[in-house]
A and B are shown apart, each in its own frame.
Chain A
Amino acid sequence: MKLSREHYIRYSRQLILPEVQAGGQQRIFDARVLLVGLGGLGSPQALYLAASGVGTLGLVDGDRVELSNLHRQVIHSTEDIGVSKVESAARRIRALNPDAHVVCHTTRLSSANAMEIIQDYEIVVDCTDNFPTRYLLNDACVLLGKPLVYGAIHRFGGQATVFFPARGAPCYRCLFPVPPPPGAIPSCAQAGVLGIVPGLIGMIQASEVLKLILGKGEPLLGRLVLCDVMEMSFQEVALRKDPQCPVCGQSPSIRALIDYEEFCGLRATGEQAQGRGFVQGINAVELARRLEAGQRLAIVDVREEWEREFYPAFPGAVEIPFSRIESDWTALIPLKDTQIVVCCLFGVKSLEACRLLQAKGVEHVLNLQGGLDEWCLYREQSAAEQG
């Protein structure tokens, strides 16, 4: 696309910058950027990168917009609840800037589709919300030689850098060679996040995207920014490439994508499944099926008192707050031979509770995946479908 008179007006405040000018704007037009995740980090970046004139924006997400997303995922509106995030974002981008060519990948990034999706783009932006996808994205970008603009958030702060081993910078595995075990680091759903935090970290990422496109400034290569908004502190730490890195090191052992759920301990290998520490999950659909079939199940609700106002309890559920499970688990001794389903708000604390119970010898435990949040959503959806 060539710059028209209208383009000169639309981008005038950016074009007059000596670092941009017509040539730079043309590079922005010609750029192909992939945003993986249209949540807190992806939303503001999609808006600003589209407004800046990025020519091709690929959007990857398999989720739908939920009410609990809207305090931070600013590209979606209240009327978009239930709509695919990619569709909702694409609509908003097209309204904002008809110059932007939006490519919709309405799917969850996986080892099966990552290489094919990523290969068409020049810059990849990590806006995902879980460790397996972050390792997957890293490996795919290293294997394809693409820069990966990284951002991650937690409560009141976050981290950002650019991974780019093809230009001598480290990769995600150089920084974090070992993933934390499941449940060790709480997610946004569990730990919470102030709504503006992804806006702040997202804008650091978007700045890096534009700098990479323009070839100007000092990119965050080999530098990790860590910020905390409560103290408004920004720390920068130097990152080094790990010569032993299994994907970008001197003799890499990872030459193709692997099973990232297994790598992050979310799916047990055969050996682990038989050992302690592995917890079987049950999703809302399966739980509903078993309840309707009249299977005898004991539901144990491990929400804290203050968490109980959000969703109604299961009738007859045994209530043991997670903070008291170490002492109060004995209430479950009479249920030792019954199939127990442990639930909490989002399925993370309950997973930990299942492990604790298994360690106490209560073996027939299942974790309600997605927690009461998912369960109530499923119940509402099935009630709506039944009219």
Chain B
Amino acid sequence: MLTIWFLSGLKEAVGRTEVRLDYRGTVSGLLEELGKSYGQRWRERVFAEDAPTRRNPFVKILVNGEDIRDEDPELAGDETLIFFMPVAGG
């Protein structure tokens, strides 16, 4: 089971902070999969406006604590992922 945390700016797209999901495959595949469950609100935050399959570069994805940056690692299915975005409120 993947454990996924949706934090800063992404929680409202999903409706909760922690989700457990049965999934194996690439991170980009997971983003697509999540798009099926969470629809437009997820896609408009995570994917670039001009290229609906390209990940927004400012969305941070950590797999077992490691920032994956531009990479697209393969998930074995037991990782913990953290998704968050920059926020600027003060």
Chain A residues in the interface with B (C-beta under 8 A): 37, 39-42, 126-131, 134, 151-159, 175-181, 184-185, 187-188, 191, 193, 198, 226, 228, 230-231, 233, 235, 237-240
The chain B residue with its CB closest to the CB of A238 is B65
A127 pairs with B90, CB closer than 8 A: yes
A237 pairs with B11, CB closer than 8 A: no
Chain B residues in the interface with A (C-beta under 8 A): 5, 7-9, 11-12, 16-18, 45, 49, 56-58, 60, 62, 65, 67, 82, 84-90
A157 pairs with B90, CB closer than 8 A: no
Complex CA–CA separation, A142 to B58 (angstroms): 21
- A126 CB to nearest chain B CB (Å): 8
The SS class assigned to the B binding surface is: loop
B67 pairs with A240, CB closer than 8 A: yes
B89 pairs with A187, CB closer than 8 A: yes
A42 proximity list for chain B (CB < 8 A): 90
B18 proximity list for chain A (CB < 8 A): 231, 233
A231 pairs with B17, CB closer than 8 A: yes
B89 pairs with A129, CB closer than 8 A: yes
Determine which of B11, B85, B89 lies in contact with A153 in the assembled complex, contact meaning CB atoms within 8 Å: B89
B58 proximity list for chain A (CB < 8 A): 176, 178-180, 184
Highest count of chain A CB atoms <10 Å: which of B45, B58, B89? B89
A188 proximity list for chain B (CB < 8 A): 89-90
A240 proximity list for chain B (CB < 8 A): 67
A198 pairs with B90, CB closer than 8 A: yes
A131 pairs with B88, CB closer than 8 A: yes
